[in-house]
A = this chain, B = another copy of it.
Amino acid sequence: MLPGRKAVTMRTARILAQGDELTTGATVDTNSAWVAEQLRLRGVRVLGLCAAPDDVELLARMLVEASRDCDLLVSGGGLGPTTDDVTAEAAARAAGAPLVESPEALAQVRDRFARMGRPMSPSNAKQALIPQGAQVLENPAGTAPGFALPLGTARAFFFPGVPQELRTMVERHLVPWLEAGGAAPLLRRRFHVCGLGESLVQERLADVLPPPGVRLGYKTWLPYNTVLVYGEAEPAEARERFETTCAAVRARLGDDRLGEDDETLPGVVGRLLLDRGWTLATAESCTAGGAAALATETPGSSAWFRGGVVAYDNDVKRSLLDVPAALLEAHGAVSEECARAMAEGVRRAVGADVGVSITGIAGPDGGTPGKPVGLVCFGLALPDVTRTRTTRFPPFGRERVRAMAAAAALEWLRRLLVRA
C-alpha cells in the first residue's frame, strides 16, 4: 500500500457475531468468514473474528474491546424481535448512549410488513430501538434495520444475522462506504472445479509459481473446489502478473474448470444446452429430485429444463420410465443397465433432447459387499447415443453422497457438451 494513501484508506477491522447458537456449537459461523473475505477483497486487514452469546454484558464488553484498535467493526446478528436479540442494547451500552426508538427505523419496519402484506406484531417494534445518534441502515431483505455508529477508534456497522440479509446489507451499506474511503481493491479470480479432490487440484497447479504480489488459495465447498487467485490492481505491472497467473491456472485446469467467478454448474450446463437448442430431463432414484432442483437453481432454466421423474420405488421406474421388470430383476436398480433405461425412458417420457439418470446407494443402509454405500450409476441419453458410468463416492454420509451425485451428473453432462 502506498504510504500517501494511508490517511484515507481503511486498514483494519474486526468482525463480531452474536448468538447462543454459535457459542453452544449449534451453528457454525459462516457469516463472519464471508464478511472477512469481502473485507479482504477491499484491502482491509481483519484483526480478529469474535462470537459472543446472547448476553448483553458480554457483548457490550466485546464491542468495547474490539473497537479499541481498528478502523472498522462489522457485527452480524442479534437484531431480531425476540428477547435474546440484545445487540442494539449492547451497542448502546458500549457507546454510552441510551437506546431510543428511531422513527426512521420504525417507518422502515412498518413499511416492510406492509409490503409483505403481513401484520406487524408488537415485538417487531423492538427492532426500531437503536442507540441514540446512530445512523439507520435500511434492510431490503428482511424486517430488522441495521445501524452504524462510531465506537472506540472504529466505525461500527450492525447488521442482522440471517445470511441473506447480512450479505445484502454489506453490499448496500458497507461496500460503498469502504469504496468512498478509497480502499485499495484486491483482485480476485475464482476457478471452480467439481469432482476433483483438493489435493489433486493442488498437484495439478504445483508448477504454477505465483510472482510477487500474487497468491493462490484453495476452498472446498462440497461438491465443489475453488482455486482462488489474489493480486494487486495497481500498478499495471501488478495487474499483468495477476492475469498471467490466472492464465496459467486456467491452462492447467483445462476442461476440469467448470466456470469462473459467479458462474455456476447449472448456469454453465444451461448455456451449453441452449447453444445447441437442447432440452434436459432428469430421472432420479437415490438423489430423489436433487439433480432437478440443482439444474433449476438458475433463473431462466425453464428455457432448457423440461422436467423429470423421481423414481424412488422400482414400480415407478417401471411405470413412468418403462424400465423393464426383467432388467430390474436381472441387474438390480443400482446398475448401469438400469441407469441406461432410466435415462432413455425419461428422455422419451418428458420429450427432451437429453435425459440424465442417477441410481445409487446413498446410505446409511442398503449397502452390500458388491454394491456398497456410495456406489452410484449414471446414465446420459443424448440424441444419438446413450452412455453410462459408475462412481463410488466416499461414504461421508447420506447427505453428501446425494449432493455429490446430483452435481456429478450435471458435471458429466457439462464435460461431454464441452468436449463434443
Contact = CB atoms under 8 A, between A and B. Distances in A.
Interface of A: 19-30, 32-40, 45-55, 58, 62, 65, 80-84, 116-117, 121-124, 141-143, 162, 164, 188, 198-203, 216-222, 228, 282, 284, 287-293, 295-297, 299-302, 305-313, 315-316, 319-320, 349-351, 363-365, 392, 394, 396-400, 402
A162 B394 CA distance: 14
Output the residue of A23, A221, A284, A301 with the most chain B CB within 10 A.
A23
The 6 closest A-B pairs by CB, nearest first: A289-B289, A25-B37, A25-B36, A289-B292, A307-B316, A288-B296
A316 B279 CA distance: 13
A316 B48 contact: no
**Main SS of the interface on chain A?**
mixed
Contact of A48 (B52, B199, B399): B52
A36 B24 contact: yes
B310 A307 contact: yes
- Copies of this protein, total: 2
A299 B33 contact: no
18 contacts: A23-B48, A26-B219, A28-B30, A28-B33, A48-B62, A82-B202, A83-B202, A84-B216, A84-B217, A84-B218, A121-B199, A164-B397, A287-B293, A288-B295, A289-B308, A299-B365, A307-B313, A316-B350
A218 B54 CA distance: 10
A33 B22 contact: yes
Contact of A309 (B25, B45, B51, B307): B307
Nearest to A296: B288
Nearest to A22: B49
A289 B291 CA distance: 8
Contact of A289 (B47, B53, B288): B288
A282 B310 contact: yes
A36 B20 contact: no
A49 B33 contact: no
Contact of A53 (B47, B121, B293): B47
B289 A293 contact: yes
A21 B218 CA distance: 9
A66 B286 CA distance: 45
B316 A320 contact: no
A297 B399 contact: yes
A48 B48 CA distance: 12
A311 B315 contact: no
Nearest to A50: B50
A310 B310 contact: yes
